[in-house]
Structure formats: structure tokens, C-alpha cells
Amino acid sequence: MVVLVNGGSASASEIVAGALQDHKRAVIMGQPTFGKGSVQTILPLANNTAIKLTTARYYTPNGRSIQAKGIIPDIPLDDGAGDRAAGLKVREADLTKHLTDNAKDLKEEDRAKAAAAAAQQYNFTPAPRPKDIDEKLTRPQPGEIVSEHDYELSQAIAFLKSRGGNIQIAN
């Protein structure tokens, strides 16, 4: 099984991806997730005010906190954004007053090393993302569920086929 994630994967989807990863039930592909590892509860007070309390923290089954770190994919995929969108990628760690863990936060280069080591374990190198695909081609055609030019999906299928899987996609 392959689970595709990116910076928009947050909260419950991170817990599911992390649990599947911890139990080695799926290979996680894509980009690091958002890092939403806490639950806040808003309690109304008097005079139209409220207080926001952190009431829970999310951990994977192996005890990894995802707060401000997210889930690191086993196989990283190029998100196609390059430098043009580097400032637009917002993660939990970028938010002011985000919760921190006592554990050392992973730096970007540490994330890249961890992802590269994990990818070697699977002996799979994703194909480079095509650079000159018309954006209209990446949208599903009427009646399709996904576009035939969906890079992430095509890499997930290539990975499964490299494992001898008989893959069939049905709309």
C-alpha cells in the first residue's frame, strides 16, 4: 500500500499515515506533512471572550510526536513548486506560538537525509517530475477520477509495479 501525503496533510491524516508507517503496513510517498499534532478546545468566557486550551497531543503508535514535525515520507517526491513557492509553504512549525516538543526538531537537511535513507531501503528512485506539462492536462477530464498526468499517482503506481504488483486503476 502507498499513502500519498503533502504539506496539506494534517491532523487525522497524519495520524493514519504515521500509524501505517510505524507498523510497516504502507510506504509513505510525497512531501512532509503539516505537523498538526495537537487538539485545541475553545471554551467560551463572559463578555464575548474565549480561551483556547490544548487538550491533547497526537503521537504515532511508536510514540513519535508529529507536532511541528509532521510525517517524513519514506520516499520523497518533487512537489513541482521549486523556489517559486518556497515562501508559500506554511507548516505548523512556521506558525507563531506553535507548540514545541522537548525533543530536538528536525532541520530541513536532517529531513532530507532521513528521507533519502528511507528511499534507499525501498530501492526505488522516483522519476523526475516533468517540467513542461500544461496545467490543463493535470486536471481530470470529465468522467475521470484522476488525470493520467498526475505525477504523484504515477509514481505510486510505478513503485507498486516495481514490487510485482498487478495494478489496475478503474474510474
Distance CA(15)–CA(57), nearest Å, equals 11
Q: Taking a C-beta distance cutoff of 8 angstroms, is the pair 171, 165 a contact?
A: no
Among 9, 36, 38, 69, the active-site one is: 36
Q: Which three cell numbers stand for residue 11?
A: 491532523
Known catalytic membership, residue 22: yes
Between strands 38-44 and 50-57, the pairing is: antiparallel
The residue from 22, 78, 79, 101 that is catalytic is 22
- 3-class DSSP string for 62-128: CCCECCCCCCCCCEECCCCCHHHHHHHCCCHHHCCCCCCCCCCCCCHHHHHHHHHHHHHHHCCCCCC
In sequence order, what are the beta bridge partners of 4? 29
Instruction: Let me know if 24 is a catalytic residue.
Output: no
Q: Establish whether 11 is a catalytic residue.
A: yes
Check if the beta carbon of residue 31 is closer than 8 Å to that of residue 77: yes
Residue from 11, 13, 147, 154 carrying the catalytic annotation: 11
Which residues are designated catalytic?
Answer: 11, 22, 36
